[in-house]
Amino acid sequence: MKVSTHLILLFAAFVCMVCISSSATAFEPEKVGVNPELEDFTAGFFPPKILNVTDGVYVARGYNRDNPVLIEGTDGLIVIDPGESIPAAEIVKEAYNKKLNNIFETKPVKAIIYTHHHDCHIHGASVFANNDTEIIAHENLNLTLYSDWFGQVYPSRADGGVKMSGSLFANDPDWFAGGGLFATQIRGPSGYLPPTKTVKDKLETNIAGVSITLLSVPGETRDVLVVWLPEKDTMVQIANYYQAFPAITTIRGAFPRNPLDYIDSIDVCRSLEPEYLVLPHGPQPVVVGEENISRMFTNGRDAIQFVHDQTVQNMNKGLTPGEIMDVVKLPPHLASDPNLQEYYGQVDRDIYEIFWWYRGFYSGKARDMFPQSPAEEAEMAAELAGGVDELTDKARNALDEGNLEWALVLADDVLLLNPENAEARKIKNSAMISIAENTPNAQTRNYILSEYLLETKQVTLPTSGNPKLTFATMEERFVPLLPMDTLHRIMAVSLDASECLDKEITVGLQLTDMKNAKSSDYALYVRKGIVEIQPEVPEDADFTITTSSMVWKNMVLGKLDPQKAVSDGKVNISGADSKAFYEFMALFE
């Protein structure tokens, strides 16, 4: 594959431009093998196809990271989860038109339904919508949109999302083997449209002559909706049951998920006894037959409950997550279920997530009370091995013996102590490629190969480790919707504490366009390493900033230079000269 400078979109809940470049002409190695089980699973997404579920219900399988669903009514259409980007949605729309006699030219889209806020389900909306299209979502969608993704941890989750999805090499068929729940990525600008109608617990409605019930079913996120078509005996379900073992929390990083929510929500779906099931993720998105669907749902919820209950039981016996991992195995009938294979989530990872959900990081053992930095652990390993050279030999022996995870860790320990150790780098690289080739888990494969490419400098990700740059790449359409509380949390975690440990600064903020809002005036207190923001303008402010909410948002996000904002007349400073304002804004990385 030829590698050149190009733009991709960060995977974190939302679309964010980054530049990936390489000085090399091809990835090394040129081809990475694929675990046969993962290869067969991913092959199920091809060729992309429009599938007829039942009368008037269709699903577009394999065109992008989700499977957009189309429902035809008497005088209009309903689109569920319109895709990951504008170009992805355009491809899906064209495929539907080709299959269904230009259906989007003959009937208007009456409604678009978002099943939840993850980016592959919301960013194609503008392609299907017209001025009268209703956008329906859970009432928590905007909350989770900005707290879980475009909030204070956005840079970390965006970075993790790029790696977990395989975006760095998704266009290279010799490297990419899918994402577990998808096989194709089509990045591009967002066409997200905010909801015009929201659902709290349940909504029964009729759209274009189609009876629809929307039910809140939290699990993977807190804003999940299941779509039930009672007259068609059809369910569209996502985010609680997949055709792969679930990830209670993904390795890209996500808001903590209550494992019992998955079980309760699957039980809600199971109780409706659908004859047709549509899955907006997965290679076989159409399941037919009440008995088949009931068995799938039952095994899915039983697998989660088994891992949950056995984890808690052993936790109560005093076992640590690692010890629980050694004793908790799925029963044979669940372990052999083709829909519960570890292409996405893994039992051992879910054990850790469940343990942490209830207890946090501390296992209860004295040895785990004292967290060690990676460098400290590397020093300990070298001491036990007899030195760095001996540790390198141990890493090589582990690789030669097929202990790939040991080889990876031991070689990485050497590199922490001696980054220029060529032998350790070679061992680590070999271990990473071999793990990627052997794992059936797409998350593991993509993350490890991404780290390999970044560490060997075959690609660069300029936003990685640079939160300010990541915040600055937030698409313009999302900035007006950004809540002020979320913006000020971003500001708080962006403060360079080392530059203000001896400072106490009080700044007033007046937003001229928010007089009817909950608060248009704020006090910004920088106090010895932290910033506290209160809804008031203090009388003793060192100076006051007066501007509009959009200018303030763009300055905090790094989209607008403070000096330019002042020179353009968009910001007024009273009580001090502009230099004090510039110095204040420079405290935020």
Q: Which domain does 509 fall in, by range?
A: 483-585
For residue 557, is it within any domain? yes
pLDDT in tens, 127-183: 999 999 999 999 999 999 999 899 999 999 999 999 999 999 999 999 999 999 999
SS3 call for 34: coil
In whole angstroms, what is the distance from residue 317 CA to residue 290 CA?
40
CB atoms within 10 A of CB 567: 11
pLDDT in tens, 171-192: 999 999 999 999 999 999 999 9
CA atoms within 13 A on the CB side of 310: 19
Query: Phi and psi of 216, rounded to 5°?
Result: -75, 125
- Which residue, 264, 280, 181, is CA-closest to 227? 280
SS3 call for 239: coil
CB atoms within 10 A of CB 74: 9
Q: Tell me the CATH number at 569.
A: 3.30.1050.10
**Long-range own/partner contacts, residues 422-427 (CB < 8 A, 24 or more apart):** 423/392, 423/396, 424/392, 424/395, 427/392, 427/395, 427/396, 427/399
For residue 579, is it within any domain? yes
| Lookup: tokens for 246 | 């679930």
In whole angstroms, what is the distance from residue 391 CA to residue 47 CA?
48
Q: Which residues pair with 202 in a beta bridge?
A: 215
| Lookup: tokens for 112 | 């678009």
42: left (phi over 0), alpha (psi -120 to 50) or beta: alpha
- Reduced DSSP (H G I as helix, E B as strand, rest coil) percent helix, strand, coil of the chain, to 5: 40, 15, 40
SS3 call for 406: helix
- Which residue, 239, 266, 261, 264, is CA-closest to 250? 239
For residue 561, is it within any domain? yes
CB atoms within 10 A of CB 532: 12
For residue 543, is it within any domain? yes
In whole angstroms, what is the distance from residue 67 CA to residue 48 CA?
10
- Which residue, 115, 117, 129, is CA-closest to 14? 117
Domains: count for the chain: 1
For residue 553, is it within any domain? yes
Q: Which residues pair with 543 in a beta bridge?
A: 507
pLDDT in tens, 262-271: 999 999 999 9
For residue 569, is it within any domain? yes
Q: Sheet holding 197-199: strands in order across?
A: 49-54, 57-61, 69-72, 77-80, 109-113, 134-138, 197-199
Cα 584 → chain centroid: 33
For residue 21, is it within any domain? no
- The CA-atom distances, in angstroms, between 281 and each of 26, 120, 177, 382 are 32, 10, 16, 45
For residue 507, is it within any domain? yes
Residues 170 and 176 sit within 8 Å (Cβ to Cβ): yes
pLDDT at 462: 82
Query: Phi and psi of 319, rounded to 5°?
Result: -80, 150
Name the strand (E) or helix (H) holding 579: helix 578-585
Query: How wide is the angle at C-alpha 193 spanned by C-alphas 188 and 199, nearest 5°?
Result: 130
In whole angstroms, what is the distance from residue 186 CA to residue 167 CA?
10
- What is the pLDDT tens value at each position of the chain, 589 positions in all? 333 323 333 333 333 333 343 333 479 999 999 999 999 999 999 999 999 999 999 999 999 999 999 999 999 999 999 999 999 999 999 999 999 999 999 999 999 999 999 999 999 999 999 999 999 999 999 999 999 899 999 999 999 999 999 999 999 999 999 999 999 999 999 999 999 999 999 999 999 999 999 999 999 999 999 999 999 999 999 999 999 999 998 888 888 899 999 999 999 999 999 999 999 999 999 999 999 999 999 999 999 999 999 999 999 999 999 999 999 999 999 999 999 999 999 999 999 999 999 999 999 999 999 999 999 999 999 999 999 999 999 999 999 999 999 999 999 999 999 999 999 999 999 999 999 999 999 999 999 999 999 999 999 988 888 899 999 999 999 999 999 999 999 999 999 999 999 999 999 999 999 866 667 899 999 999 999 999 988 889 999 999 999 999 999 999 999 999 999 999 999 999 999 999 999 999 8
Q: Parallel, antiparallel, or unpaired: how do β-strands 572-574 and 543-547 relate?
A: antiparallel
